């Protein structure tokens, strides 16, 4: 029996011969061939839900950024289109099994409005939808301090896109309602735990010549549990009295509401690139705490070279302990501490097109988790100094391409 | 022999950068079928047509843009109407294509452009002003 996420591929395979003969089929793709080395031997640097990366698991790792994606767009009728994008990257299960990252029916209601149904990308940040198309972005990867605020990127649902013009500005309005199930790998262990999200998102992008602004708002609900967390919250409820039960209810990530406010601004000419984004993600009733992140990137084209620099920071807000924990205070404090990811980074990079469809990028990141923070890492070793983490360096060399 | 100090190296690099050859600029014309209803396009409107930024002005709504296969001609056109280098243009379309927002115009050589333009009243493309396409009219001149 085919799995539900295979149905778009099967549907498209059935349609391919007829569409290809009608000239209504477009095939393309993109990818990255990368190698990253991380100076830490106390933790791994990973992207979102990857189970391991360069660092403690191995000094250098090609899996951090390497990926390959193929996209097929089929024009079914003059107003109806189907798009399927399969992406193979290092995923939560620790393999490169291809997954549909786009599988959507696009109904062009008018010249300026499109309804998309199916699998689409979270539209929160400027490069969220094209986060894997590294060829189309200035860095080797989007800054995690901001893009990790909502590390779920593919959703299933409905989305409306509407374009307009106002006072010389091109506008795009985006509205969506969608759900997602994502696997989250356990640190230093095998296996994953599933998170369920449902959210509605609104976005407005304005661009004119060299300037672009984007504002987004996301409201959603998330559920996530692990056997360890379930055991702790169960003990609080059964042995911690009314206060313990109240605390368990406040910490349990069960249909908890989250919001995300995001702002982006970009100034880009053939010479200069100045790009900044800010995100604030409060969350209710959860052991996760409110977080915000920001970065600014400045780049300068010098001939075919573009050197660039990015300064980024992540902040966490929330208590480190709770008086209702009683005898369970050490365990509750550990859980609260586990979600403190405050970190700063300075990235210096250099990119150069090496072919019409390929760009070579070299990036050096200086990364410093704040005191009392796990940083944006995973698989921490027992020698990781949580109170005073060291600064470390991540070096990446990537070849980004499209075809 | 003079020592290569950091200042001398910087001056040498700056000199090489400033002395790099610049591309020749030739006047261009944006052209449509000679019987097309469209009479004139502004640069901003031409940019929106070729970058497929909806909604388009009423007179340009049904136009089908065609790019040219000549790299230097295409580069000069997009530099003139949109201020975009070839690399920025490719990044623009990569982002559009892989987020399902549309595809770049089809590219034609001079012969193909002449054939398409003479048979399709909705076609619009660009050409050097000194290489006019048959059965076409100019809706925008770019110096």
CA B91, B92, B95, B96 torsion-angle sign: negative
Q: Superfamily for B25-142?
A: Periplasmic binding protein-like II (3.40.190.10)
Q: Are strands B123-128 and B64-68 parallel, antiparallel or unpaired?
A: parallel
pLDDT at B1: 47
pLDDT at B55: 80
The ipTM, to two decimals, is 0.88
What contacts A223, CB < 8 A, 6 or more positions away?
A: A195, A196, A253, A254, A255, A256
Beta-strand ranges (E) seen in A253-357 are 256-268, 272-281, 290-300, 306-317, 343-355
Give me the residue from B53, B84, B95 closest to A130, CB to CB. Answer: B95
pLDDT tens, B61-84? Answer: 889 999 999 999 999 999 999 999
User: Which residues in chain A touch residue B83, judged by CB atoms under 8 angstroms apart?
Assistant: 209-210, 269-270
B69 touches A: beta carbon within 8 Å: no
pLDDT at A16: 56
With beta carbons less than 8 A apart as the criterion, state whether B115 and A153 touch.
no
pLDDT at B143: 83
Query: Cα(B114)–Cα(B108) distance, rounded to whole angstroms?
Result: 9
A269/B103 Cβ within 8 A: no
| DSSP count for chain A of H helices, then E strands | 5, 19
Number of domains in chain A: 1
The domain containing residue A372 runs over which residues?
Answer: 4-16+25-402
Going by C-alpha positions, the residue among A79, A78, A80, A40 that lies closest to residue A61 is A40
User: Which residues in chain B touch residue A135, judged by CB atoms under 8 angstroms apart?
Assistant: 90-91, 94
Residues of A within an 8 Å Cβ radius of B: 26, 28, 30, 69, 71, 73, 81, 83, 85, 102, 104, 106, 111-112, 116, 120-121, 129-130, 132-133, 135-137, 161, 163-165, 168, 170, 209-210, 268-270, 301-303, 353, 356-357, 359, 402
pLDDT tens, B100-134? Answer: 999 999 999 999 999 999 899 999 999 999 998 88
Report the half-sphere exposure of A222 (CA within 13 A, side-chain side).
26
Chunked mean pLDDT (size 10), chain A, 403 residues: 51 56 83 98 93 95 98 94 96 94 95 94 92 96 95 90 90 95 83 91 93 97 89 87 87 92 96 97 89 97 96 92 85 86 96 95 98 92 93 98 97
Give me the residue from A210, A303, A402 closest to B94, CB to CB. Answer: A402
Three-class SS state of A209: coil
Chain B nearest C-alpha distance from A22 (Å): 16
């Amino acid at each position: 029996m085919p799995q539900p996420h295979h149905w778009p591929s099967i549907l498209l395979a059935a349609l391919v011969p007829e569409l290809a003969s009608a000239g209504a089929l477009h095939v393309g793709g993109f990818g990255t061939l990368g190698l990253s080395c991380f100076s830490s031997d106390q933790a791994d640097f990973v992207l979102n839900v990857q189970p391991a990366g360069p660092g403690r698991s191995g000094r250098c790792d090609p899996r951090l950024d390497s990926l390959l994606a193929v996209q097929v767009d089929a024009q079914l009728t003059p107003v109806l289109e189907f798009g399927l994008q399969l992406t193979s990257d290092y995923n939560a299960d620790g393999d490169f099994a291809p997954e549909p990252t786009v599988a959507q029916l696009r109904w062009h209601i008018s010249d300026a409005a499109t309804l998309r149904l199916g699998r689409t990308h979270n539209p929160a940040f400027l490069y969220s939808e094209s986060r894997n198309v590294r060829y189309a972005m200035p860095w080797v990867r989007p800054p995690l301090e901001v893009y990790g605020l909502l590390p779920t990127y593919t959703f299933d649902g409905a989305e409306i896109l509407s374009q307009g013009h106002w006072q010389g500005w091109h506008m795009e309005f985006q509205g969506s309602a969608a759900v997602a199930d994502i696997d989250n790998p356990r640190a230093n262990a095998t296996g994953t735990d599933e998170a369920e999200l449902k959210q509605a998102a609104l976005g407005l992008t304005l661009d004119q010549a060299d300037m672009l602004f984007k504002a987004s708002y996301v409201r959603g609900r998330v559920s996530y549990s692990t056997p360890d967390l379930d055991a702790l919250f169960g003990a609080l409820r059964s042995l911690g009295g009314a206060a313990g039960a109240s605390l368990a209810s406040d910490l349990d990530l069960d249909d908890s509401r989250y919001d995300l406010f995001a702002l982006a601004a970009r100034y880009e000419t053939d010479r200069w690139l100045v790009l900044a984004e800010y995100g604030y993600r409060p969350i209710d009733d959860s052991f996760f705490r409110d977080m915000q992140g920001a970065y600014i990137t400045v780049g300068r084209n010098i001939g075919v070279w573009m050197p660039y620099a990015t300064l980024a920071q992540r902040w966490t807000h929330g208590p480190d302990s709770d008086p209702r924990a009683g005898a369970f205070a050490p365990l509750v404090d550990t859980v609260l501490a586990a979600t403190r990811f405050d970190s700063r980074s300075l990235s210096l990079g250099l990119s150069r097109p090496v072919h019409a469809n390929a760009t070579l990028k070299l990036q050096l990141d200086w990364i410093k988790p704040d005191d009392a923070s796990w940083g944006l890492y995973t698989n921490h070793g027992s020698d990781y100094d949580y109170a005073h983490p060291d600064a470390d360096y991540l070096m990446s060399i990537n070849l980004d391409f499209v075809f | 022999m003079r020592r290569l100090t950091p200042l001398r190296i910087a001056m040498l690099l700056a000199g090489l950068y400033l002395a790099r050859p610049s591309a020749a600029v030739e006047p261009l014309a944006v052209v449509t079928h000679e019987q097309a209803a469209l009479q004139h396009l502004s640069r901003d409107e031409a940019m929106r047509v070729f970058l497929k930024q909806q909604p388009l002005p009423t007179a340009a709504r049904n136009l089908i843009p065609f790019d040219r296969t000549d790299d230097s001609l295409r580069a000069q056109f997009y530099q003139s109407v949109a201020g975009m280098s070839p690399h920025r243009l490719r990044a623009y379309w990569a982002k559009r294509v892989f987020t399902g927002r549309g595809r770049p115009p089809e590219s034609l050589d001079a012969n193909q452009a002449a054939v398409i333009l003479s048979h399709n009243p909705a076609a619009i493309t660009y050409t050097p002003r000194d290489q006019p396409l048959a059965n076409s009219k100019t809706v925008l001149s770019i110096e």
